[in-house]
Chains A and B, each alone.
Chain A
Amino acid sequence: MVAGATAIEARNVVKTFGSGSEAFNALDNVSVTIRQNEFFTLLGPSGCGKTTLLRMIAGFELPTSGEIMLDGQPVAHLPPFKRQVNTVFQSYALFPHLTVAQNIAFGLEMLRRSKSEIDAQVDKMLKLVQMEPMRNRRVNQISGGQQQRVALARALAPHPKVLLLDEPLSALDLKLRKGMQIELKRLQMETGITFIFVTHDQEEALTMSDRVAVMSKGKILQIGTPTEIYERPSDRFVADFIGETNFTQAEVLERQGDEGRLRLCSGVEIVQQINSLAGIGDKVTLAIRPERIELAPHDDACQFSGTVQNVVYFGTDTTYHLNIQGGGHMTVRLQNRWGHQSVLQAGDEVGLRVPPEAMQVLKD
């Protein structure tokens, strides 16, 4: 396998459900290339089309138009059982009439592998997901987290080219979920299988993925590494969906190449990298992450000034909600590195200092 080679490609995929006036596009001209050995995440709110795309790759849905390619071959004509793709279902969909080991062996038996090969592979999988003591239990006699592991082992056992995971962690409690996130990443590295992971949880997407595709209303808005998606969101939806973001308006006063002089709502003028679409006199939106803002006594180095509205203590950090002079609200999050310093209280006047690279100009 060549690293970086294409595992899955979707070309201009459209999926329309219903017909006539009730028709709506679950997927609207989606193109994406997923590389081999990649942990790729489809991230978006429910109804954005991420599960539809996943089911299409598995073969449970056919595209209305466009093409899905697996290993460079179009797969439209292949039913699910002829695709070297396995799924970990959201509800796990373990066979209740079979034991843990029989569930894991199912795919291999259907592929008519030899008895000794199946036994060896089942043992290997049980070990991989640390479920050896449970091998002869029925799947209703094990906990949700254990069912999750069995579902993973069952899907990995036939060693598919691509593993699809449909929000597999959503039914687990927080602590188990954190553990499984690390486990999934480990499994992906160890097996070298391409993982396509569907989730609406941005934190999950950021911690595990090599690349993330952010989806909304049947479209892919941005594809990039977690850092790219978080640090340089391409538009307002992505910035808003991934983590917390402050939005503030600014006016373009003049521009030179990629750089422009902007006037913030506070009246302060700054020089900032802006996209080519904005012209002089245009309003643009700036996105600023709450943790990138520093609070200081007001001086000339501050871009904004505001009044503390309230203070929320979170343990690891403290969040300040501020009313900004010139309009709007901002949230500032400060880490409690030296313990919680309750220097600021509601009603205090403060200045906000934002490093230029922390301000991201968005296309609106």
Chain B
Amino acid sequence: MAATSSDAPVQETGLSRPELASRANDRAAMRRRLMLLAPAVLIITICGLAPLSIVLAYSWMQPAEYAGVIPQFSPDAWINLAFERDLFSDELLPNFAYYSIYARSIMMAGMTTLLALAVGFPTSYFIATRAPHRRNLWLFLITIPFWTNLLIRTFAIMLILRDEGVLNVILLKLGIIDTPLQLLFTNWAVSYGLAYAYLPLMVMPLYASMEKLDFRLVEAGYDLYASRFQVLRRVIIPLVKPGIVAGSILCFIPAIGDYVITSQLGGGKRMMLGTLIAMQFGPARNWPQGSAIALGLMIIVLIALFIYAKKVVARSNMR
């Protein structure tokens, strides 16, 4: 009667009664487990898959005159991601306007990621080297801004950066400048705002890998004649690389598609992917175009994540 164990391999062809019973038990257990998954599956379907399917469908349709779509197949929106039709000859020409938006978005997201990394790396190192019972407090402090409404935080940054803002007033009073600096509505303002918003997303994975870092390896580095900078470059950074990559991805992805911060702090002067998508659904009334851009962005992000999973995760598992 030892065969009641569910994972014992069944060797005989004929199943005895307890084995049959255990199979029935297994099926019941499986059903119960699937029931536990049901709420999540329901939410993902309603709030994730269904809207995504609609977006996918819209991207292959024609725009209606006053917003919405005409349910007729058209690949135009996808072609427009890379090409535009010449008004007269109808031939396909490179869509340079979009290219510059892509380039600008990638650059801004890159700047944001670098800025967040530059601030987040020492911060995570600091937290990881505190006494264990203090670390959670520091992490908690890092996440506090996350609890404040994004729009309010963005307005707060505007108050600091604008011509009569805190920063300019201080600089003027100190006599460092005579006329207010143009701080707001610049690329710097945007990446500053983005880096501030997504800093916790950088710090968390970085901290997670730094906490696992064996600081005896740092000592070994010093012992073997590595200066502080060399220890950082040759020992610490290679060892926390999975954290750096994960943090950078988590920062880069929302930054490249961000709408609120880029439009508020950038002043809408220079178009970015987020603002471009919003414009297609708004003033441009080209829903298929907006859908295609949004999906294109998503596909690129997924490809990047896939490459990351293949390379970095595979390598860190080897350890």
A binding-site residues for B, Cβ under 8 Å: 58-60, 79-82, 85-87, 89, 91, 93-97, 106-107, 110-111, 138, 140, 154-155, 158
| Closest chain B residue to A107, Cβ basis | B224
* A110 in contact with B230 given A80-B223, A93-B216, A93-B217 (CB within 8 Å): yes
| Closest chain B residue to A96, Cβ basis | B319
In Å, the complex CA distance between A93 and B224 comes to 12
| Closest chain A residue to B216, Cβ basis | A93
Within 205-236 of B, Cβ neighbours of A (below 8 Å) are at: 214, 216-217, 219-227, 230, 234-235
Cβ A154 vs Cβ B238 within 8 A: no
- B223 / chain A contacts, CB cutoff of 8 Å: 58, 80-81, 85-87, 155
Q: Rank and list the top 6 A-B pairs by shortest CB-CB distance, nearest first.
A: A107-B224, A93-B220, A110-B225, A80-B222, A93-B216, A97-B238
Cβ A91 vs Cβ B222 within 8 A: no
Whether B239 is near chain A, meaning CB under 8 Å from some CB there, is: yes
Cβ B219 vs Cβ A89 within 8 A: yes
Cβ B226 vs Cβ A91 within 8 A: no
Cβ B239 vs Cβ A91 within 8 A: no
In Å, the complex CA distance between A327 and B251 comes to 78
| Closest chain B residue to A154, Cβ basis | B224
- A82 / chain B contacts, CB cutoff of 8 Å: 225
Cβ B239 vs Cβ A107 within 8 A: no
Cβ B319 vs Cβ A95 within 8 A: no
- A158 / chain B contacts, CB cutoff of 8 Å: 224-225
In Å, the complex CA distance between A154 and B225 comes to 12
* A96 in contact with B224 given A89-B219, A110-B230 (CB within 8 Å): no
- Selected A-B contacts with CB under 8 Å, 18 pairs: A58-B223, A81-B222, A81-B224, A82-B225, A87-B219, A87-B223, A89-B216, A91-B214, A93-B219, A95-B217, A96-B217, A96-B239, A96-B319, A106-B234, A110-B226, A154-B224, A155-B224, A158-B224
In Å, the complex CA distance between A81 and B221 comes to 8
In Å, the complex CA distance between A158 and B226 comes to 12
- A86 / chain B contacts, CB cutoff of 8 Å: 223-224
- A58 / chain B contacts, CB cutoff of 8 Å: 223
Give the distance to chain B from A76, nearest Cβ to Cβ, in Å.
16
In Å, the complex CA distance between A110 and B219 comes to 14
* A91 in contact with B216 given A97-B239, A106-B234 (CB within 8 Å): yes
In Å, the complex CA distance between A59 and B225 comes to 12
- A89 / chain B contacts, CB cutoff of 8 Å: 216, 219-220
Cβ B226 vs Cβ A81 within 8 A: yes
Size of the chain B interface, CB-CB below 8 angstroms: 19
Give the distance to chain B from A169, nearest Cβ to Cβ, in Å.
17
Cβ B239 vs Cβ A81 within 8 A: no
In Å, the complex CA distance between A111 and B217 comes to 18
In Å, the complex CA distance between A82 and B319 comes to 31
Cβ A111 vs Cβ B319 within 8 A: no
| Closest chain B residue to A58, Cβ basis | B223
- A95 / chain B contacts, CB cutoff of 8 Å: 217, 220-221, 235
Give the distance to chain B from A285, nearest Cβ to Cβ, in Å.
42
Contact bitstring B226-265, A, C-beta under 8 A = 1, else 0: 1100100011001100000000000000000000000000
* A111 in contact with B225 given A95-B235, A96-B239, A106-B234 (CB within 8 Å): yes
In Å, the complex CA distance between A93 and B222 comes to 12
- A138 / chain B contacts, CB cutoff of 8 Å: 318
- B219 / chain A contacts, CB cutoff of 8 Å: 60, 80, 87, 89, 93
In Å, the complex CA distance between A155 and B227 comes to 17
Cβ B225 vs Cβ A81 within 8 A: yes
In Å, the complex CA distance between A181 and B239 comes to 32
In Å, the complex CA distance between A111 and B224 comes to 9
Contact bitstring B41-71, A, C-beta under 8 A = 1, else 0: 0000000000000000000000000000000
- B225 / chain A contacts, CB cutoff of 8 Å: 81-82, 107, 110-111, 158
| Closest chain A residue to B315, Cβ basis | A97
In Å, the complex CA distance between A158 and B319 comes to 27
- A106 / chain B contacts, CB cutoff of 8 Å: 221, 224, 226, 234
- A155 / chain B contacts, CB cutoff of 8 Å: 223-224
- A96 / chain B contacts, CB cutoff of 8 Å: 217, 239, 319
In Å, the complex CA distance between A59 and B224 comes to 12
| Closest chain B residue to A111, Cβ basis | B225
| Closest chain A residue to B226, Cβ basis | A110
| Closest chain A residue to B239, Cβ basis | A97
Looking at B223, B225, B238, the one whose CB has the most chain A CB atoms below 10 A away is B223
| Closest chain B residue to A93, Cβ basis | B220
Give the distance to chain A from B219, nearest Cβ to Cβ, in Å.
6
Give the distance to chain B from A2, nearest Cβ to Cβ, in Å.
26
| Closest chain A residue to B219, Cβ basis | A60
- A80 / chain B contacts, CB cutoff of 8 Å: 219, 222-223
| Closest chain A residue to B223, Cβ basis | A87
In Å, the complex CA distance between A46 and B231 comes to 30
- B234 / chain A contacts, CB cutoff of 8 Å: 106, 110
- B227 / chain A contacts, CB cutoff of 8 Å: 81, 110
Q: A80-B219, A96-B239, A97-B238 are in contact. List 17 more A-B contacts (CB 8 A).
A: A60-B222, A80-B223, A81-B222, A81-B223, A86-B223, A86-B224, A93-B216, A94-B220, A95-B220, A96-B319, A97-B239, A107-B224, A110-B225, A110-B227, A111-B225, A138-B318, A154-B224
In Å, the complex CA distance between A59 and B223 comes to 8
In Å, the complex CA distance between A140 and B219 comes to 19
Give the distance to chain A from B91, nearest Cβ to Cβ, in Å.
53
* A79 in contact with B222 given A89-B216, A93-B214, A93-B216 (CB within 8 Å): yes
| Closest chain A residue to B224, Cβ basis | A107
